[in-house]
Chain A
């Protein structure tokens, strides 16, 4: 079976201020094209898990595989490259670069990757914007658009390098129900049309219910998947 993401006995400790075992023996597999959500109470470790899976946090024990390749112990530069190429990330807060236009924001990760020319990247970015129904925003400054629009731009940015998996840390947490539905529909459409794998941390029961699989976490353990 092809797994986009797989962990083997993942453990993490917060060492400050006191030793705290946040993640306990996490064994997790995400299949290709699967739309998965992670639920759990605040402090159960779901975001911590997500940041480890996203390769940004490297302070853990256990093994992490991305596209069947062992990621654990790789150099920071290599991890940055993998993140750039294979992982799209959407945060609760949009994190756009305010002084850049929407288009420039979306293009940056692809320019960093440097596999395509600027013209190709731009065409690709416009295509994604059109797909998300925000093509008209391309030349506006990122700080001049509304919250719902920003989150869609952030999704567009996550998609620019055609990642293996899209991760979200409560991507709808800051949005009203209308915009939440909008984002959810986009995710479903991406899964259906592009076969994208998604892994979304959320608090929202309604959101989670519409995904293929829900992983429940409690006290640093997966209790049900």
Chain B
């Protein structure tokens, strides 16, 4: 039985009598944990921001209709030439509308699926922007704006104007920021677009859209789905794309294959679309953890050193404790409790300093063209990291304290007493 009150009384005395060493060891842990918390919050914050940059603009599943030649050519259907090797040269895809056949029923079906958190229809078409003497080629996308806002954080990319403004204006257009600059247009200005057939439609600029990717902002604009259908001259069932957002991103590849098979459309999942994106995230996380763990290991060595020193200094104390009836376990508990107190105090203060430092970084201005909605450095205040931080502090001090304290446990008191 270990009498913790007595043991902790002794370790408290030791810690306080060597206050400077104690402080140094504690600060070692504090610095380690502070650095870990700050680094991991900052780096994952940046990571998340970069991820969102891509994720928000890439639907989990993108359903569309790819232009391609039919796989079933007449000769393959003819019994006469079967079996046989068919070689047909210069197959051309036939003209087809680029819309999704039966798009709206598909959309409704998707919305009933359990794992789908939302599906939005889109109509993408090539147009020309006409403003004064300028004629610029570009993309126009018709969207269901409330759904887009709900599912893809669309309003984060509207730098002027609001999604409601577009929703409420029949012939409104959200102009790409690059386009607006080229044509020197302001919200409220008029703009004409023409479709590929040359028909001209007047639109009103209700706001600017900035994705942060210049190539997109120079060509891309958004209008209401209905407006887009009117511009391409099609009815209300005409949609070219469906963007699906899932509750669980990892289900995307499986579900995309499922949709392709069932509905004879093309479906591309996010992993396929951004294969390099996950790799990048993983590697950045790896670097974060490598650096943090190095810091904590360095702090651990500091504790090891100081406890080792303390035990050499306290050889006589150890001997006398053992001579008067304290067991090896008691003596080990004295030194282990010191290590754990250092770890606990250092760890908690590390968390606090880490939080303070994160909050400070979170206040530092960070303005970039690429990220219109972000004005300060992003920080990820995930409570998990704080839990990991304190656990690692305790674990590393436990290990650092275990080896020296084990030595104290097995020290033979007779040898020390006779050595004097």
Contact = CB atoms under 8 A, between A and B. Distances in A.
27 contacts: A51-B417, A51-B418, A56-B322, A56-B323, A56-B413, A57-B414, A77-B327, A77-B329, A80-B322, A80-B327, A80-B330, A82-B325, A83-B325, A93-B417, A95-B316, A97-B320, A99-B14, A99-B17, A100-B13, A108-B10, A109-B324, A111-B5, A111-B6, A112-B6, A112-B325, A112-B326, A114-B1
A89 interface: yes
A47 B414 CA distance: 10
A91 interface: yes
A112 B324 CA distance: 9
Interface residues of A, number: 31
Contacts of B260: none
B14 A112 contact: no
A111 B3 contact: yes
A76 B323 contact: no
B299 interface: no
Contacts of B14: 99
Considering residues A80, A91, A114, which has the most beta carbons from chain B within 10 angstroms of its beta carbon? A80
Contacts of B418: 47, 51
A145 interface: no
B17 A95 contact: no
Interface string A3-15: 0000000000000
Interface class of chain B by DSSP: helix
Contact of B6 (A51, A85, A96, A108): A108
A81 interface: yes
Contacts of A82: 325
A100 B13 CA distance: 7
Nearest to B16: A99
Nearest to A85: B325
A123 interface: no
A97 B324 contact: no
Interface string A41-79: 000000100010010110000000000000000001100
Contact of A51 (B9, B316, B328, B414): B414
Contacts of B17: 99
Considering residues A82, A89, A169, which has the most beta carbons from chain B within 10 angstroms of its beta carbon? A89
Given A89-B323, A112-B325, 15 more contacts: A51-B417, A76-B328, A80-B325, A80-B328, A82-B325, A83-B324, A95-B320, A99-B13, A108-B6, A111-B3, A111-B5, A111-B6, A112-B330, A114-B1, A169-B417
A109 B325 contact: yes
Query: What 3 pairs across the A-B complex have the smallest Cβ distances?
Result: A84-B325, A99-B17, A95-B320
A54 B323 contact: yes
Contacts of B414: 51, 56-57
A76 B1 CA distance: 13
